[in-house]
């Protein structure tokens, strides 16, 4: 399949370009940025020297000629763009008959009201919200396989949902909201220059209290109320979530362990039991590491991912693998390319 990446100069886009370029069943047919981008005309390897000799393609402006090229040559279009930009672009590529994999949040929620509240804009394509398949690979493969539009799951929700869906689906969780305390590296804030997210400026700090856009995403696909608080940490990449779950009366540790066995055969999920996951354990890998410890009715679940791999580009590649009828983890086993 010929793959086009729009927004390839950002961290997630560049990571995805690397994954596609190394994939034996995919061809990286073109990489694009906005017409206003200062990166247009540069090779991706100019921005990311580690890709020298692997991805020396130029970053082309997304103009009318580019759209004609995409119409003629692309099978899959991956959008690594701002949320509202994805909402504007996706219909154009769908009308061309392309399968679209959107790494933004443009199609993850259920209504225009949600977008006005959590994203700050009115959604111009509300009819596509019902059509988009949620791209959480381990849980929604059947829908992903058939969908023309895939809303790749967010980074924080990927860690939270894989850690919590086994418990909720097994009926082990009480009606109390689940408390999610999450910390991400600064790459999660994107590549654009911003003093607040500059490495020397970042301290461990909470943000988005009560209104972060990933809160409704987690609650929607978990079907349970959550209290989600993200933090920005002074490290480049990775997410660690510490999650506090109030179990129903009498739930045993054996029941909790049994609930997680639904993920035991997933190649990119590592169930650590009572061991504590760490960011160092997942950086530059496509795993989700999940550990848990219980005391009475209280359960602490810990989940770690690389936000740019399993939380973005790696998960998008899983969705493309599923669309091609390949195992979702193809080329991602062990977190590296075989």
**H helical segments located in 98-171:** 112-118, 126-131, 141-146, 155-169
Q: Are 281 and 304 contacting, i.e. CB atoms less than 8 angstroms apart?
A: yes
CA 136, CA 157: separation in Å to the nearest integer? 9
Query: Nearest-5° angle of CA 141, CA 214, CA 267?
Result: 35
**Which residues, including other chains, have CB under 8 Å from residue 338's CB and lie 6 or more apart?**
331
The answer to whether residue 155 is catalytic is: yes
Alpha carbon distance 230, 318 (integer Å): 25
Enter the DSSP assignment of 157: H
HSE toward the beta carbon, residue 311, CA cutoff 13 A: 30
Q: Which residue has the tokens 């058939």?
A: 146
Length in residues, the chain: 338
Active-site residue among 155, 200, 262, 319? 155
Q: Pairing relation of β-strands 149-152 and 99-102? A: parallel
Distance of alpha carbon 100 from alpha carbon 161, whole angstroms: 23
User: Which residues belong to the active site?
Assistant: 155
């Amino acid at each position: 399949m010929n793959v086009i990446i729009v927004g390839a100069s950002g961290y997630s886009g560049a990571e995805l370009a690397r994954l596609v370029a190394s994939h034996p069943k995919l061809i990286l047919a073109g990489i694009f940025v906005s017409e206003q981008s200062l990166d247009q005309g540069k090779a991706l390897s100019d921005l990311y020297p580690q890709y020298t000799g692997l991805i020396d393609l130029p970053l082309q402006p997304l103009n009318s000629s580019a759209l004609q090229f995409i119409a003629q040559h692309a099978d899959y279009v991956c959008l690594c763009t701002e949320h509202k930009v994805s909402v504007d672009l996706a219909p154009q590529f769908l009308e061309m008959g392309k399968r679209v994999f959107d790494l933004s949040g443009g199609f993850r929620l259920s209504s225009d009201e949600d977008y006005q509240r959590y994203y700050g804009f009115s959604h111009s394509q509300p009819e596509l919200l019902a059509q988009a398949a949620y791209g959480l690979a381990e849980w929604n493969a059947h829908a992903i396989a058939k969908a023309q539009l895939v809303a790749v799951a967010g980074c924080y929700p990927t860690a939270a949902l894989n850690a919590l869906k086994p418990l909720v689906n097994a009926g082990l969780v009480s009606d109390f909201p689940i408390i999610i305390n999450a910390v991400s590296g600064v790459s999660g804030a994107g590549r654009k220059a911003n003093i607040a997210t500059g490495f020397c400026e970042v301290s461990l700090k909470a943000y988005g209290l009560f209104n972060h856009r990933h809160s409704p995403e987690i609650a929607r696909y978990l079907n349970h109320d959550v209290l989600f608080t993200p933090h920005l940490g002074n490290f480049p990449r990775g997410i660690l979530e510490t999650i506090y779950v109030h179990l129903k009366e009498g739930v045993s540790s054996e029941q909790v362990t049994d609930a997680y066995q639904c993920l035991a055969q997933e190649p990119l999920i590592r169930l650590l039991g009572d061991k504590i996951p760490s960011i160092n354990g997942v950086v530059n890998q496509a795993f989700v590491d999940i550990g848990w410890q219980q005391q009475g009715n209280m359960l602490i679940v810990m989940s770690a991912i690389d936000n740019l791999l399993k939380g973005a580009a790696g998960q998008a590649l899983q969705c493309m693998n599923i669309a091609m009828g390949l195992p979702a983890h193809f080329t991602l086993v062990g977190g590296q390319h075989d």
